[in-house]
Amino acid sequence: MTRKNINLYSPRPRGPQSLGQTHSRPVLHRARLVVPITQPAIEDGAVVVADDVILDVGPFQQLRRQWLEAQARDHGEVALLPALVNAHAHLDLSGLAGQVRAKGSMAEWIRSLLAVGESVDAEELMIAQAEALASMHALGTGIVGDISSSGRFVGEDIQGMILTRTFVELFGLHDDSLEEALSRLPDHARQALTNGEEEVSLAAHAPYTTSAALIKEVKAWGSERAKIITIHAAESEEEILFLHTGRGPLRDLLEERGMDPDRWQPPECGAITYLDRLDFLDGLSLCVHVVKVDEEEIHLLKNSGAAVCLCPRSNLFLGHGLPPVNQLLEAEISCGLGTDSLASNDDLNLFKEMAVLMDQCGIGPDTVLKMATHNGARNLGLAELYGSLEKGKRWLAIRVTAQDVESIVSAGCQGVLEWLR
């Protein structure tokens, strides 16, 4: 698999000045429904595109009069919407699909994960990673936040249609410095970080596997470079028990792995409270899962400007229950969606994550679609270019065989969609 050296985050021409700089004839894409995400859906709508830049969005008849030179392309009785953004995936765990069983315990699941992972060879893992990426693309995902604990980067693939932001994951319950944690990474991962590649950042694994000093240094590293930093937080009751008391199944697991939890001082609080005390939470922070939080911690997230990525099917698979999504949304926290990994999920279909939130939490289709597009792009630092159909943004869109917003998610769950060119 080849990896192109692209810069996803540098500004591209946009706005009125860029409209006169197109080199190809504009194309007017018409559909029964256009879903811009940041404004209400447009019946009999259209999007004008040239050189992969959106020039206009609005009612078809209006845009047909304004863009007489545009070549019209009628997509028929479908809905057009931006590509989905999977803000949290572990593609390097794809080779473990169907082999790691949920056992009602986070510690037991991690034991199973580690045991299975040691039995799969590197070539199999690389093949599975490529297949997972292709599967994501087929299911409408165009941007992914990939958590790499192995140092295997997926970069850009599928003819340039998948844009990846890679978060290199660090562990170290007793590490006092970032340098110490980085020294354990594969050479190419260290090199990517040293070279300042725009699409590569860092992740602290979790509060129960990463020292306070390391979490603070990782965050400082990101702040100095204006990069998003992500962390798993408040995923399970076992995590919260360990943070409060230093006891429980996770302690036993850490002892087995030689991490000596006796040398670690529990903060005696919840995960989000702990991260707030470490000055981790701000507009460049992405907290993943956020299942076991109270009202006060939701306020901490809101006041800090930190973003959240929810992975509801993974949480259900592991027996942790669903996050308090309604309360998080009511607090106006930017909540995106992720699938986590094939070691804790049946597939990488982001529409199915939306369906769970609609069916079990009563979230409306407009809201879940925004979570899976605009919010995800915002949470990965890409909202200026992607995540909605707006003038000046990049054209990265799909068409779904649906005639109204309510039926988009169910059609997407069945894979009834195509990419637009």
Per residue in 342-352, pLDDT (tens digit) is 999 999 999 99
- Percent of the chain beyond pLDDT 90? 81
Query: In whole angstroms, how far apart are CA 355 and each of 53, 155, 307, 351, 369?
Result: 30, 29, 21, 6, 10
Tokens standing for 190? 């260290």
Q: At what angle do helices 237-245 and 106-117 cross, to 10 degrees?
A: 110
Q: Is the pLDDT of residue 251 over 90?
A: yes
Q: Which domains, and CATH codes, for the chain?
A: 16-82+389-419 (2.30.40.10), 84-379 (3.20.20.140)
Contacts of 29 (CB under 8 A, 6+ apart): 46, 47, 48, 49, 73, 75, 80, 420
Q: What is the mean pLDDT of residues 379-388?
A: 97
DSSP state letter for 162: B
Query: In whole angstroms, how far apart are CA 279 and each of 81, 251, 312?
Result: 37, 25, 27
Strands (E), 51-199: 53-59, 71-74, 79-82, 84-89, 141-148, 163-170
Give the confidence band of 22 by pLDDT, cuts at 50, 70, 90.
Answer: low
CA distance 174 to 272: 20
Q: What is the mean pLDDT of residues 393-415?
A: 96
* Residues 387 and 72 sit within 8 Å (Cβ to Cβ): no
Contacts of 125 (CB under 8 A, 6+ apart): 92, 94, 95, 150, 152
Q: Report the candidate in 242, 239, 240 with the shortest Cα–Cα distance to residue 261.
A: 242
Mean pLDDT of the chain: 91
Q: Is the pLDDT of residue 333 over 60?
A: yes
CA distance 269 to 193: 32
At 268, give phi and psi (nearest 5°): 60, 45
Tokens standing for 84? 């989905």
Tokens standing for 346? 């049946």
Q: What does the angle CA 184 – CA 337 – CA 131 come to, to the nearest 5 degrees?
A: 65
Q: Give start and end residues of each alpha helix (H) in 265-370.
A: 271-277, 295-304, 312-317, 325-330, 350-361, 365-370
pLDDT of residue 152: 67
Give the confidence band of 230 by pLDDT, cuts at 50, 70, 90.
Answer: very high
pTM of the model: 0.92
Query: In whole angstroms, how far apart are CA 65 and each of 54, 60, 93, 108, 348?
Result: 17, 9, 51, 62, 41
Tokens standing for 163? 């844009």
Of all helices (H) and strands (E), which one includes residue 131?
A: helix 122-138
CA distance 251 to 260: 9
pLDDT of residue 118: 85
Of all helices (H) and strands (E), which one includes residue 61?
A: helix 60-66
Contacts of 297 (CB under 8 A, 6+ apart): 234, 270, 271, 272, 273
* Residues 145 and 165 sit within 8 Å (Cβ to Cβ): yes
For the stretch 155-169, what's the b/e string if a residue is b when 16 or more beta carbons lie within 10 angstroms of its beta carbon?
bbbbeebbbbbbbbb
CA distance 60 to 366: 21
Q: Report the candidate in 392, 359, 348 with the shortest Cα–Cα distance to residue 85.
A: 348
pLDDT of residue 263: 92
* Residues 399 and 33 sit within 8 Å (Cβ to Cβ): no
Give the confidence band of 102 by pLDDT, cuts at 50, 70, 90.
Answer: confident
